[in-house]
A and B are shown apart, each in its own frame.
Chain A
Amino acid sequence: MSEPAPKPFAPFAFRSEDVTKVYGSGAAAVHALRGVDLEVPRGELVVVLGPSGSGKSTMLNIMGGLDRATSGRVWFMDDELTAMDDAALTQFRRRHVGFVFQFYNLMPSLTARENVELVTEIADNPMDANEALALVGLEERANHFPAQLSGGEQQRVAIARAVAKQPEVLFCDEPTGALDSKTGRAVLRVLKDVNERLGATVLIITHAAATAAMADRVLSFADGKIRDVIVNKTKLDPGEIQW
């Protein structure tokens, strides 16, 4: 991972071959993934659907460098994630990936801007922290601590933090799960903006099937496998999504 710049030859942000993940062993073994093959083209906004336990979070964790596959291979661009050691995975997350979580995971002891700066300080090519906050419409609240922000605002700070490093990939695990529909739509709007303006590949895990309408591509998980892949010809604007 010495070259931070994306390699132009790779048409796919992610590719995987027969990825499996088994938790535990013997009779107690749980097969979370049973052979996943997927391709995610660069720059797409992908929505990942599936019931609980279908393996969608497990797959995204592996793609995000948070977890390891039991077998199979995963590539990010031309680099094989499944062959990396811990230090290399840390560098991968640091340089290429932004994360947005259901529970925001902000540092309570840092202000909104400082939470963003947490990432910009270690990134290679970050945008200005204020710019990132402006992107999510929170430039006015830059000096507030998380305790002073609403849930939606906290999630937007988390998104600003994730996009501030100008990542090539943005992983969002239930980013609207803890939000009401109005706030949820606003957050989705921000994610779409990031996808369009920064050209980042965005993967969104959600239970809300309606969200699929705004995606370029929809991956549906079931029983540890991809059940089907839908490529949307026409996309809805987040504001048009019925919750």
Chain B
Amino acid sequence: MVSPLDRKLGRDLWRMKGQSLAIAVVIALGVLMLVMMDGLVNSLDQTRAAYYERYRLADVFAPVKRAPDHVLRDLAAIEGVGAVEGRIAGGALIDLEGEPAPIRAFAVSLPDFGTPRINDVYLTDGRRINPSRKDEILLLDGFARARGLAPGDHLSATMNGARRTFDIVGLVQSPEYLYAVAPGELAPNDANFAVLWMSRDALGAAFDLDGAFNEALIALGRNANLDAVIDAVDRVLDPYGGVGAYGLDDQISNRFVSEEISSLRVSARSVPPIFLAVAAFLLYIVISRMIHAEREQIGLLKAFGYSSLEVGVHYFKFVLAVAVGGALLGCMFGVLSGRGMVELYLDYFKFPFLVFNVDPAAFIIGFSASVLSASFGGVVVLRQVFALTPAVAMRPSAPADYTRSVSFSEQLKKVLDQPSRMVVRRIARQPGRAVAAIVGIGSGMALSVAMLTVLASFDKMMDVNFSVLDRSDVTVSFVEPLSDKTLFDLQNVAGVIEVEPFRSVPAILRNGRYSHRGALSGLISEPRLNRAVAADNSAIFVRGDGIILAEPLAAKLNIAPGDRLTVDVREGRRPTLELPVVGVTQSLLGAPAYFELGALNQALKEPGRVSGAYLRIDSAKADDIYVALKDMPAVAGVSIKSKARGAFQQMMDEGAGGMRYIMAAIAAIITFGIVYNSARIAFAERERDLASLRVIGFTKGEASFVLLGELGIITLLALPFGIALGHYLSLAVSAGFSTDLYQIPVSFAPASYGVAVVAVLTAAGVSGWLVNRDVGKLDLVASLKTRE
């Protein structure tokens, strides 16, 4: 048996269905964001962990120049080491038919017997290699699909200067190459970077490493101390040319994935609460106004003998129905859209499996946040209503007191007619309410501004990096540091316009307890093709008397100009250098440390060495140049900027960056929801006044002016507030989106503000129009007979 009060509840919900739904949707969007993003982060985290575990990804990677196999026993003896495997890994250039540019690849050995104990691979197609067949390879699934290669196809590759043809027998995915990034590039590009796995014998022969290995993979035992193990491994491998062992955290693919996940996590923690807070605020306003409007009915119920508690519970149920409805909707669509996002990520990261799994905490937080905020709005107003005796509550409420509202000077009175005065007085009489509405609309707008600014900032970042910083067309890297005479060979290739050498030296940068594993970039003193620039885009000249650090790197190392930086060089004789920091510069991509090329070579005591060069080329002759480069034995890799930029853009659009589009869309919807709700509430409150005006002889337009004038003024006042709040929100959101790998600069983008302003005005216009239709439908007779 449904109680009469519950029937009233059902009818009230139905009567106010438009507004109830509008609020529920705003709540739902906040909860949706929370559930979707939390689920996404949770799923990625768990999937990654499961994948790593199932395919036994190494905990420590220890590259070395050449170590005999027996050294593995020494490594296995280190305390904390659970398992060791030695393998051979080296660069390769793949020559594909119809592709002029050489494609960079990485060749990795598989053990001759059984499956790898560490860094196993997941076979997606074909079969594993037969160790006795030296020409059989497994190919990275992503590359194969991007290039239309399948088991049974052949592939020719140049390794260590020798060109060979291989049979592809299987396609694999690997936890080591979730994010397949060519060395020196920042974004994965399926079609332009390959990994191939082949027998250890074959690879040993190719790289002259028979009976030796050039990379040790180590799985840690329980309770092992990572730093201690790394130190011990470095000591063991040092005599054999150890480049420096590093943990999984520094492994390139894992680092990208971690960055992506942590960037998502930051967004998941910072953005949905903002959305939810705006939704909660809105709900609070609506509920409190609504209960105020029910004043007489509350008095009536109390007169019938219902207790304050019973009446309170009745209205609380209404609040709860809207809040829970919204939260449920949000959870449902959150899970749905989370699943959709997971599909995208499945494709983006090369996970063989991915389970969508929302932490129950997200549901609980979403639910309680909506219900609590809704209840708060209800309770505050109910308390006022309970204080009234039934008789007073039932009597039509006295005319709202405008005594202390604005009084107009005679001059102003000449300007403002009565409808205008009504609008102004209404706003001035309850400044709190007006401020609340302004804050509400402004917050919605700020969300839009922030999301749009971030969108613009992504583009700005791309532009600065690929147009201002890096003005080269092609980057060529050599197999090892070579004499700078090699540059003449490059210069002589027809179509090459300009050649600018660089030296990149792997190094660990230290400042006390802060360290960074990266590289020193040796550039010529006045670089033209790949420059360091200050915040105003003016070029910074690289100096020979000290290092210039990228801003995020200086922050990471906690170092400032004037301090001295310790540089552990991990190449050649591997000296440790003490160099002064002489400047800090803007960098949006990566974390470079610049040093003048000559000074760097001098410090390394290796004069005249270069590791590669930036080229500016005649684009009409690009294909010929690529072919020429492919034939140069010294060339280890060719990175084409347009492709790198495309890959980066793709990464921004598809990965964590893609989230910004979704957020921008949701921000727009929330903004509209707030404006529309404000208009609806204003209409509900003034229905009777408007009907009176119509009866007196005001036209629909004139009556609408009284209603919409207020919305208009509030909207206009909300604009500057939204712009200011949006600015600060942009800062916060950009920081959330920035990672170690790229920074999102907050650029003042007038267009973002302009678009947000237009969006808010449009929302106001559409809301006004929707509500205005109801002014035309006002029942003049009915609204004059009854109060409320």
Contacts and interface: CB of A to CB of B under 8 A. Distances in A.
Interface string A98-110: 0101110111111
A117 interface: yes
Nearest to B403: A145
A147 B418 contact: no
B434 to A, nearest CB: 13
A64 to B, nearest CB: 8
Given A109-B429, A110-B425, A103 B402 contact: no
Interface in A108-124: 108-110, 114-115, 117-119, 121-123
The winner among B401, B419, B689, B697 for most chain A CB atoms within 10 A is: B697
A119 B700 CA distance: 15
Interface string A37-54: 000000000000000000
Contacts of B508: none
Interface string A5-36: 00000000000000000000000000000000
B696 A67 contact: no
Interface string B337-352: 0000000000000000
A164 to B, nearest CB: 11
Contact of A109 (B402, B692, B781, B785): B402
A90 B699 contact: yes
A201 interface: no
A148 B403 contact: yes
Contacts of A97: 697
Contacts of A217: none
B418 A121 contact: yes
B748 interface: no
Contacts of B688: 105
A206 interface: no
A122 B402 contact: no
A110 B419 CA distance: 9
Contacts of A73: none
Contact of B697 (A90, A102, A146, A173): A90
> Which size class do B's interface residues fall under?
20 to 34
A105 to B, nearest CB: 4
A81 to B, nearest CB: 14
A158 to B, nearest CB: 10
Contacts of B398: 147
Contact of A103 (B396, B425, B693): B396
A189 interface: no
A103 B697 contact: no
Nearest to B786: A103
A105 B784 contact: yes
A173 to B, nearest CB: 8
Given A61-B781, A95-B697, A110-B421, A122 B689 contact: no
A93 interface: yes
Given A103-B787, A145-B399, A110 B422 contact: yes
B415 interface: no
B455 to A, nearest CB: 43
Interface in B377-416: 396, 398-403, 405
A147 B694 contact: no
Nearest to A66: B780
A147 B781 contact: no
Interface in B678-707: 688-689, 692-700, 702
Given A103-B787, A109-B429, A118-B418, A90 B399 contact: no
A154 interface: yes
B426 interface: yes
Nearest to A118: B418
A108 B784 contact: no
Contacts of B402: 108-110, 145-147
B399 A147 contact: yes
B417 interface: yes
A94 interface: yes
A87 to B, nearest CB: 7
B781 A66 contact: yes
B695 A108 contact: no
A119 B485 CA distance: 95
Contact of B418 (A66, A91, A110): A110
Nearest to A173: B784
B695 A93 contact: yes
B746 to A, nearest CB: 43
A117 B403 contact: no
Contact of B784 (A87, A103, A115): A103
A66 B396 CA distance: 23
A93 B418 CA distance: 18
A146 B692 CA distance: 15
Given A109-B421, A114-B418, A147 B697 contact: no
Interface string B610-621: 000000000000
B697 A117 contact: no
A61 B419 CA distance: 25
Nearest to A97: B697
Nearest to A116: B418
Contact of B399 (A94, A122, A146): A146
Contact of B403 (A61, A67, A101, A147): A147
Nearest to A95: B697
Interface string A69-97: 00000000000000000010011011101
A97 B698 CA distance: 12
A107 B698 contact: no
Contacts of A67: 780-781
Contacts of B429: 109
Nearest to B692: A105
A64 B784 CA distance: 13
B399 A154 contact: yes
A147 B422 contact: no
Nearest to B787: A103
A173 B401 CA distance: 25
Nearest to A90: B699
A87 B702 CA distance: 12
Nearest to A144: B403
B695 A99 contact: yes
A67 B700 CA distance: 16
B699 A87 contact: yes
Interface in B623-647: none
A241 to B, nearest CB: 25
A64 B780 CA distance: 11
A93 B702 CA distance: 14
Interface string A53-69: 00001000100101100
Nearest to B427: A109
A121 to B, nearest CB: 6
Given A67-B781, A101-B784, A106 B399 contact: yes
B695 A118 contact: no
A52 to B, nearest CB: 12
Contacts of A95: 697
Contact of B696 (A99, A145, A148): A99
B421 A93 contact: no
B414 to A, nearest CB: 12
B625 to A, nearest CB: 76
B387 to A, nearest CB: 19
Contact of B422 (A87, A105, A107, A154): A107
A118 B400 contact: no
A118 B694 CA distance: 12
A122 B784 contact: no
B652 to A, nearest CB: 52
A117 B396 CA distance: 25
Most buried by A among B396, B405, B784: B784
9 contacts: A94-B697, A101-B692, A109-B400, A109-B402, A110-B421, A118-B696, A122-B698, A161-B696, A173-B784
Given A101-B784, A118-B693, A122-B698, 4 more contacts: A90-B698, A110-B402, A119-B697, A147-B403
Interface of A: 57, 61, 64, 66-67, 87, 90-91, 93-95, 97, 99, 101-103, 105-110, 114-115, 117-119, 121-123, 145-148, 154, 161, 173
7 smallest CB-CB distances across A and B, nearest first, come from A94-B697, A146-B399, A147-B401, A108-B399, A109-B425, A105-B692, A93-B697
